[in-house]
Structure 1
């Protein structure tokens, strides 16, 4: 839990659902003598269980905290925490707190852990592309049956050389996926909300895991942008073989891809991987496109669904061309280390009067 705070210190309150990473915190405190952590463990709650907001308000030393490190635990009113300078979220997005008073009624700076998930999620995406093209579901079924199957039953694998990966949302996850996919022989095209017409605008300005991603934005053979239907359709019409959905969930991207969009992708018999949020896709339209014999999608890999958890009766569970995983693609052994690295960098920037990184633009929603 740490020692009591003193008035002259930068006071970091951590409310997180895992044990205190003592070595990480001690390392940060050693580099920043004026920083002191106070750590509390708040266990994960099922989504069906009400969040204990009254307990949150009562239990933690909000008045003294100058920095908050959290997933979901926030004071119910900004006035409870008058000294907060910024809040660091261990999630990549903040859509889950977008309706809270802290988000809507305060100007407290919010930062995220965007960038830390790139390697592990990119590996999940590539794994799903390969699993589908190499009929891994059927091969595992045969193994479970102790059956030496005939290759005629699964056909020949479609390798990635010459296929086009469309990255809808060219952030850290999209950039690392692009890097790996490019090495496999794929062509990359990128889509962003706003235009990226200059070399400087194509650079990744957020946190980058060393040695990963596309820091200068040089991998895509073409860039597309815009949140209107015409711009989206123009992107989807570029003969996309695999679409990676990696945009943040905002009011503009909710149900961004539906029947019309699936029909465009179906002309190329595309494969979709969604690691963003389930409600970016119209799920009923997705199911219909996956079931079409001609002009539909060849498959989908979904780490996110709408709702979550996915209903037991959903058709997605049993479709042969679909892989469903329970929102786990971002989980990795370096999660805490990388997220605290962002926090530590922002503590340094704060001390040196430099802008913080990974700052949320409330108007954009990410």
Structure 2
């Protein structure tokens, strides 16, 4: 539930600023609940489409800030998030599309699509390396919204799912759910790993020389979360040595990687340019969730995706 401090202070219509530009999908989301889109100085709610750069000084009347990104680490680092109002992010809003991309990357690796595309009918080399997801175990690290969407997709491919989340609370459909302190055990029990965790001090360089050594020579790592979860130098060493089978990255650190980064030259690596959640569809995907949160805000009900700045997400 929202607290008294975060309850709407005036009757309808709810006054919402959509900044820095009045995106049509988000404006329509406000109008669907009978709200009015107003300048920031008059707003109870700010819907912010962008990063911390250019974030405005907030009038006292703003009771809730709705961020359009799932990750808030840059806002926290910039000191933007305060404790005098409610903050939400877009965690889970884009989960289905990101889960689709994660599955596509995993299949592109295990089925040797990437390697085949870079060669000319190299059947003798490619054929022995092709693996099926049937009978494999896939660990989802950070099994929140993306994990819940990805789990049935993996099951449909015949894989078993080992979910890892902060609390260890069971994830529907997963064969096993583990708390975050058992992450290394999850690595040692898995064929492949999908990273869907936030970027926090605890997850920074979660993929490192030690954890890579817990995997198998056929294992693929898929990162659709945050670039800093992976130590890219350690990853390169493991790929060259054959410690793991390959890596598929939609996010990197830095982003983008330098054009001469050695990961680009490896045949068992695929890098997509942070398109698991395409920017062109971001506000369209966010709009129905914003409408639902606006309804909850007006009714003083529990909100979706409330930010916990102390956790970094």
TM-score class normalised by the smaller sequence: 0.7 to 0.9
Q: Superposition pairs for residues 114-263 of structure 1, below 5 Å?
A: 114-141=91-118, 149=121, 151-156=123-128, 157-196=130-169, 202=170, 217-227=171-181, 231-238=182-189, 240-263=190-213
Larger radius of gyration between Structure 1 and Structure 2 = 1
Note the alpha carbon deviations across 1:95-132, whole angstroms, 9 max, x for none: 121123331x4332111222222222222122122222
The residue number in structure 1 matching 2:218 is 269
Does 1 or 2 have the higher relative contact order (CA < 8 Å, sep 6+)? 2
TM-score of the two chains, using structure 1 as the length reference: 0.76
Structure 2 residue runs of 5 or longer lacking an equivalent are 1-9
Unaligned runs of 5+ residues in structure 1 are 1-5, 39-60, 197-201, 203-216
Deviation (angstroms), 1:32? 2.7
- CA deviation digits over 1:63-106, x for unaligned, max 9? 3221111122577686x421111111111121121123331x43
Q: Is contact 2:52–2:80 with CA below 8 Å preserved after alignment? A: no
Alpha-carbon spacing, 1:270–1:223, altered in 2? closer, same or farther (3 Å):
same
Cα deviation, 1:215-267, whole Å, max 9, x if unaligned, reads xx32111111134xxx22222221x11100110001221122211101111x4
Does residue 290 (structure 1) correspond to residue 230 (structure 2)? The answer is no
Match of 1:53 in 2: none
Q: 1:235 to 1:112 in 2, by over 3 A?
A: same
Asked if the contact 1:102/1:108 (under 8 Å) is kept, the reply is no
CA RMSD of aligned residues (A): 2.4
* Whole-angstrom distance in 2 between the partners of 1:298 and 1:133: 8
TM-score by length of 2: 0.88
Q: Structure 1 residues 26 and 263 mapped into 2: Cα distance closer, same or farther (>3 Å)? A: closer
Cα deviation for residue 278 of structure 1 reads: 1.0
Structure 1 pair 76–340 and aligned structure 2 pair: CA distance change class (3 A): closer
Which residue of 279, 288, 299 maps to 1:352? Answer: 299
Per the alignment, do residues 16 and 76 of structure 1 end up closer, same or farther by CA in structure 2, a change over 3 Å counting? Answer: closer
Check 1:332–1:73 CA distance in 2 against 1; reply closer, same or farther (3 A cut). Answer: closer
1:339 to 265, 286, 290: 286
Larger mean CA deviation between 348-357 and 271-280 belongs to 348-357
